[in-house]
Every structure is written in structure tokens, then in C-alpha cells.
Structure 1
Amino acid sequence: MLLIDESGQLRHLEILEANPPGIFEESARAAFRITPFSPGQRGGEAVKCRMIVKIDFTLTGIEGARLE
């Protein structure tokens, strides 16, 4: 879950679910820290907003490799 303030700044980031756990969470955090956001809009005014974003990571590389 992301909390974006009225200026478009990321104020809070929470990983709600990870599968497999402990593998991609830091990569997701790093990606969101450098992502520019726009604030929510209500009646033409910038407002803070919450967003839930799903990220799917795909591993590429050695065929047949497995995470243990």
C-alpha cells in the first residue's frame, strides 16, 4: 500500500503480501522510492491518496534454476 501526499511525495510504503516472502520486497521498495507520483485529485484540488499496487516480478536467466 502506498500513501501519496498532496504534493505527490511517497509518504508511506507497506508490502501487504509477498510470494515467495523475503525475495522481492526490497526491490519493490527501491522501485517505488524512485517512481514519480501525482497526488490524487478531488474537485480540481490535489489531495493525499492511498493506492494498492500489484507488482509481478519475472526471473530470467538459467533455464531450470529454482529458488530454494
Structure 2
Amino acid sequence: MVEDEVKATPLSQPKPFYPRIARQRGWQGVVVVRVGIDEAGQTCHVAVRDSSGHAVLDEAALETVRQWRFSPARQGGRAVASAIDVPIRFSLTEG
């Protein structure tokens, strides 16, 4: 990374809703979401990069990250569009 380059960082990170069916069936996993972030720090695109193995958890992760807000990436002091990978963990034993 170049010295005057700063990656986008989350400012607001609401926690994911754990779907009832996934809890009932004991489904857990990590979804890695690829997030496109515009120059204003708004989420402009989300996609599953690595699936949890359960479509309902993958969709819950996408819905969650769509609500996040970011401090945009910066290059040479200017805000720029970027993309980052965000892991979303679904665990029955955590919080």
C-alpha cells in the first residue's frame, strides 16, 4: 500500500440478524462479503465472496452489510471508490 493510500473502514456496523431457521437447525458459519464503497462511503455493491454453506446465512450477511456506512478509501488525500472483504460470523455460542 502506498503511504498516502488509506483503505475504507466501517463507521456504522449493525450486527446481523440471525435467522430463526438457522438457529433452530444449528447452522453456523462465516460469510465473507465483498463490499463496493463509493467516494461518499456508501455501500454501492455487495456480493458473497465465500459462502457459509447456508443460503439463509449468506443472505442475512448481505442484508446486514448493505446497512453499513464507511469512511471512504483515500488516495492522495482524495476520497475514492474501493472494495473490501468483510467477514460476518454467525455463531450460536457468541452474543
Q: How does 1:28-47 map to 2 (within 5 A)?
A: 28-47=61-80
Determine which structure has the larger strand proportion and give its number: 2
Structure 2: unaligned runs, 5 residues or longer:
1-33
Could you state the TM-score of these two structures normalised by the residue count of structure 2? 0.57
Per the alignment, in what secondary structure is the counterpart of residue 32 of structure 1? Answer: helix
Determine which structure has the larger helix proportion and give its number: 2
- TM-align CA RMSD: 1.3
Q: Offset of 1:23 from its aligned partner?
A: 2.9
Separation of aligned partners in 2, 1:19 and 1:31: 15
2:10 aligned residue: none
Structure 1: unaligned runs, 5 residues or longer:
61-68
2:56 aligned residue: 23
Higher Cα Rg, which structure: 1
Separation of aligned partners in 1, 2:49 and 2:59: 13
After superposition, give the CA deviation of every residue in 1:11-41 in whole Å (9 maximum; x if it has no partner): 1101012122313112111211211111101
Is this contact kept in 1: 2:37–2:45, CA < 8 A?
yes
Deviation >3 Å, runs of 4+: none
* Counterpart amino acid of residue 9 in structure 1: Q
Could you state the TM-score of these two structures normalised by the residue count of structure 1? 0.76
Per the alignment, in what secondary structure is the counterpart of residue 11 of structure 1? Answer: strand
